[in-house]
Amino acid sequence: MAFHIVLVEPEIPANTGNIARTCAATGTHLHLVRPLGFSTSDSQLKRAGLDYWHSVNISYHDSFAELQAQYPEGRFYFASTRVSKRYCDYQFRDGDFFVFGKETKGLPQELLDANPDTGMRMPMTDKVRSLNLANSAAIVIYEALRQTGFPGMEG
């Protein structure tokens, strides 16, 4: 099994490329929910993922509902600045899904309202509105890996 990172309607190719690289480094399955704000041949996307794209297990979905229906047993956690529970207060397990919103608007409020018990927030000062998307994904996946002993990875 593996963890899953889900990007709902990502807009900035460099962020998705950066996350793809993190997925290659950690054996994480990357899911992209359309519409994407870029073409998959975008040079910034390729550059940010460097030459690791062939190592990324990547799936495309027409909607979040379609993705969720494919994994009826999946546990989905939703990263947002609009929830109160901290990401590190959950006990993650192999196979969990971590869902991130688009750069300009974040996750749809309806999705957060429908999943009130699995929202997760990275604490911040009041100096910024949010963290960068790629940094958020890296923080969460490494917390999940830390909790599960970095399966399949050195150290």
Ligand X SMILES: C[S@@+](CC[C@H](N)C(=O)[O-])C[C@H]1O[C@@H](n2cnc3c(N)ncnc32)[C@H](O)[C@@H]1O
Which parts of 53-92 interact with ligand X (CB under 6 A)? Answer: 79-81
130 has binding-site annotation: yes
Backbone angles phi, psi at 103, to 5 degrees: -60, -40
Which parts of 88-127 interact with ligand X (CB under 6 A)? Answer: 100-101, 103, 105-107, 121-122, 124
Q: Minimum distance from CB of 27 to ligand X (Å)?
A: 21
Beta bridge partners of 31: 6, 59
Note the helical H segments in the chain: 13-26, 43-49, 64-70, 109-114, 133-147
Beta bridge partners of 106: 102
Q: Minimum distance from CB of 103 to ligand X (Å)?
A: 5
Binding mask 7-46 for ligand X (x = CB under 6 A): ----------------------------------------
Q: Cα(first)–Cα(last) distance of the chain, in Å? A: 19
Confirm or reject binding of residue 50 to ligand X (CB under 6 A). no
